[in-house]
Amino acid sequence: MTRKRAIDLTGADGLDNEKRIRLLGIIDRLRELGISENVSLPQLVVVGNQSSGKSSLLEGLTGLSFPVASDLCTRFATQIVLRRAPAEEGEARITIIPGPTSRLDETLNKHLTGFERRLAAVEFGCQEFEDIFNEAATCMGVPGPKTTNLEDVEKRFSDDILKIELSGPDHRHLSVVDVPGLFHNPTKFQTEEDRAIIRKLIEGYMTDKRTIILAIMDARNNLANQEVFSMARAADPAGKRTVGIITKCDALQAGDEAGVLRIAKNEVERLTHGWFVVRNRSTKEINEGVTIEGRHQRERQFFSTNPPWTELNRDRVGINALKSFLGHLLYDHIRSEFPAVVADIERLSLETQKELEILSPSRQTLTEQ
């Protein structure tokens, strides 16, 4: 994995202060314990069509090169957690968080929680990621990205979550969940039934009132025709939980920029958190070996030298602006929701205690014990 320039630890953004790290860690631990089955937890979730550049966006945010086929055939959600750490402690840790279905089976739950892979950060590249991705799919009992024969597959999707934790000096503390991409035209690899399952999975995340929706828009396609935004409107009618992210601005035909620019300025689909524009690596650039750092350089050059993108506020342009914004947004969102999360957990604890007392009345004396 290519190293990015280190971020100033003394910066005024305060993204890595102790309180923030502790709060994010608490929510992360609650998710690992399965609390999210009963109590909604604050989170950022990336949603978009398979061809929208979703994996490339995540690549820019995390510095992690995703397997080429991952966006086309992902059959489970992936949580990516970034943490600041000294260079000598930089590592990648990959585990599986069992979903509600798996937790019902004690043997399966134990099997999944036993999955763990650790590598030094410098050793975790695209090939290692692809290998582990396939191992995780096998562990969950679903097809991997390169599976070609799906006729005899019993389980096509999983509600388990692949968790990827990346730590190192170049990371800001951030956590995002990636879900399978939407698609429209069924094939022998992706059926109409698969389409319905994916849509239901995504709707489950989007309708959660504690989810911030990171909705990806392909600049080449009309906003009205992009399913992810009709779903976002249904789940978040006021646009208070949605962040719009426009990809593939560099692939627009000459003359088509004006309409996209209006969207980017929040003049068409008005969102409380507004819109961002990014430029990801193209397939050609990936094949040519353009690095993640090279991606960042080309993005900066594109938006700073090509009208009309030069009209946009700089804090709405590029992956670094987006990453900084999301770091603040997640922290503020968790801080705002945390008291209600605690109240929900306390209520759940009391309800569970009452149910246990009904099943087995508490013993009051030593003789009764």
* pLDDT tens-digit series, residues 297-313: 999 999 999 999 999 99
CB-CB contact of 52 with 215 (8 Å)? no
- Domain for residue 46, yes or no? no
Alpha-carbon span 270 to 326, nearest angstrom = 18
Query: Within this chain, do residues 260 and 310 fall inside the same structural domain, yes or no?
Result: yes
CB-facing half-sphere around the CA of 357: CA atoms within 13 A: 9
Counted domains in the chain: 2
Average pLDDT over residues 158-174: 90
pLDDT at position 237 over 90: yes
CB-CB contact of 245 with 276 (8 Å)? yes
- Domain for residue 140, yes or no? yes
Split at pLDDT 50, 70, 90, the class of 243 is very high
What percent of the chain stands above pLDDT 70? 89
pLDDT at position 168 over 80: yes
Query: Within this chain, do residues 119 and 216 fall inside the same structural domain, yes or no?
Result: no
Query: Within this chain, do residues 85 and 139 fall inside the same structural domain, yes or no?
Result: yes
Query: Within this chain, do residues 244 and 144 fall inside the same structural domain, yes or no?
Result: no
Average pLDDT, rounded, for the chain: 87
Domain interval for residue 279: 212-354
According to the model, what pLDDT value does residue 189 have? 73
- Single residue among 169, 186, 203 that ends a domain in this structure: 186
Domain of 327, CATH number, reads 3.40.50.300
- Domain for residue 365, yes or no? no
Query: Within this chain, do residues 226 and 157 fall inside the same structural domain, yes or no?
Result: no
According to the model, what pLDDT value does residue 200 have? 92
- Domain for residue 7, yes or no? no
Dihedrals φ, ψ of 255, to 5°? Answer: 100, -15
Query: Within this chain, do residues 117 and 166 fall inside the same structural domain, yes or no?
Result: yes
The DSSP secondary structure of 214-281, one letter per residue, reads EEEEETTS-GGG-HHHHHHHHH-TT-SSEEEEEE-GGGPPTT-HHHHHHHHTTSSS--TT-EEE----
Query: Within this chain, do residues 216 and 348 fall inside the same structural domain, yes or no?
Result: yes
Spatial CA neighbour of 68 closest among 127, 148, 1: 127
Q: Which residues of 101-129 are buried (b: 16+ CB within 10 A; e: fewer)?
A: ebbeeeebbebbeebeeeeebeebeeebb
pLDDT at position 324 over 70: yes
Q: Which residues contact 275 (CB under 8 A, 6 or more apart)?
A: 243, 244, 245, 246, 263, 264, 265, 266, 316
- Domain for residue 106, yes or no? yes
Query: Within this chain, do residues 154 and 224 fall inside the same structural domain, yes or no?
Result: no
* pLDDT tens-digit series, residues 90-125: 999 999 999 998 999 999 999 999 999 999 988 998
The residue behind tokens 């700089």 is: 314
Among 67-71, 85-89, 110-114, name the one with the lowest average pLDDT.
Answer: 67-71
| Beta pairing class for 242-247 and 161-168 | unpaired
Split at pLDDT 50, 70, 90, the class of 48 is very high
According to the model, what pLDDT value does residue 360 have? 73
CB-facing half-sphere around the CA of 273: CA atoms within 13 A: 22
- Domain for residue 13, yes or no? no
Query: Within this chain, do residues 100 and 162 fall inside the same structural domain, yes or no?
Result: yes
Query: Within this chain, do residues 218 and 180 fall inside the same structural domain, yes or no?
Result: no
According to the model, what pLDDT value does residue 148 have? 62
- Domain for residue 278, yes or no? yes
According to the model, what pLDDT value does residue 145 have? 67
- What tokens appear for 329 in the block? 């947004």
* pLDDT tens-digit series, residues 14-43: 445 788 888 989 999 999 888 988 999 999
Query: Within this chain, do residues 224 and 328 fall inside the same structural domain, yes or no?
Result: yes
Split at pLDDT 50, 70, 90, the class of 149 is low
* pLDDT tens-digit series, residues 128-147: 998 999 999 999 999 876 66
The residue behind tokens 């149910």 is: 355
Question: Residue 274 — left, alpha, or beta (φ > 0 → left; ψ -120 to 50 → alpha)?
Answer: left
75 beta partners:
none
- Domain for residue 2, yes or no? no
Alpha-carbon span 320 to 279, nearest angstrom = 11
According to the model, what pLDDT value does residue 2 have? 38
Query: Within this chain, do residues 344 and 297 fall inside the same structural domain, yes or no?
Result: yes
